[in-house]
Amino acid sequence: MTFKPGPWQRLCILLVSWMSFVADADNMQLDGNLLLTGIDAGSSDNFKSGRAITLHYNYYFNNWLAADAGLLLTAKTLEESSQDIVGDYRTNIQTQALLLGVKPRYRLESPYEFYGRLGLQYWRTELEVEEYFGEGIPEGSSSATDTGYGYYLGLGVAHYITEKFIVLFELSHFKQLDVFEGDTAYPFDLAINAFSLGVGYRF
């Protein structure tokens, strides 16, 4: 059996390969972050807080501006259970995104720097709904996946432990536009707000 990557996997492989290739160059940074997320589908949804990770690669054009490429992976995030005339139901959502943008920064004299991120994302999101109707009626679940574009923003502060190792605190906002547009009469925009803690390596 051979592994045949799809378009999504090919894009990931290309990104990681490119990051590995350029990792030998100067003025670059790799960082990984753990995110505490809040998901908002813009309506009466009631998602619990979730977890995610991001990986970022930065290439600094000069002392204050870098290219930002990254990957966002969220864990499956559950919604609180709800009940209506149909029955009990609960959704969960999971998303991955490729990020590409710019990262301006301001390095202080002290071992701190402030930075921001701004860019576009290409996302893949899966939404699942579990439904329960009561005794004697079969329960069920259904899911659907969509891909599309959006944007992301971030503001953070980095603390240089050494000139190579950095600790990062960041507030991020990821926006996915028109999720399930074309598949449904009820598309929505998905916002992921996050607080993250990460570590980085400069080289």
Partner 1 sequence: MIYDPLMRAYFPGFPEVVFLVFVLAGCEIDGSDNLPRVPDQGLFILADVNQHEGDDSAQVAAAVFNDGEPVNLVGGDLFEARTATERVLLKQGGPVTGSYAASLPVDDGVDVFLDVVHLPVEAREDRWYPIDLLYTDPGPGELVGKSAMVRFPPAVTIAPLSQTVYTSISDVIDISWDPVSEGDLMRVLAAVECTDGLATSSYGVVVDNEVQLDMDLDDGSELISLNKFIYDLDAGSDRLKFISDAALVLLQELLNQLSAGNIDPDFLLKQREANPIESTCEIRLFLQRQRPGRFDVTFDGGRVTGSSSAEVNVIYQPPVPFN
Interface with partner 1 (CB under 8 A): 41, 43-45, 82, 84-87, 89, 91, 127-129, 131, 133-134, 137-144, 180, 183-188
Q: With respect to partner 1, which residue has the nearer C-beta, 1 or 86?
A: 86
CB of 120 to partner 1, least distance (A): 24
Q: With respect to partner 1, which residue has the nearer C-beta, 63 or 81?
A: 81
Q: With respect to partner 1, which residue has the nearer C-beta, 113 or 126?
A: 126
Q: With respect to partner 1, which residue has the nearer C-beta, 113 or 128?
A: 128
CB of 180 to partner 1, least distance (A): 5
CB of 75 to partner 1, least distance (A): 19
**Which DSSP string corresponds to the chain?**
------HHHHHHHHHHHHHHHHTTSSSEEEEEEEEEEEEE-SSS--BPPEEEEEEEEEEESSSSEEEEEEEEEEPPEEBPPEE-SS-EEEEEEEEEEEEEEEEEEEE-SSSEEEEEEEEEEEEEEEEEEEEE--TTS--EEEEEEEEEEEEEEEEEEEEESSSSEEEEEEEEEEEEEEETBTTBS--EEEEEEEEEEEEEEE-
CB of 132 to partner 1, least distance (A): 9
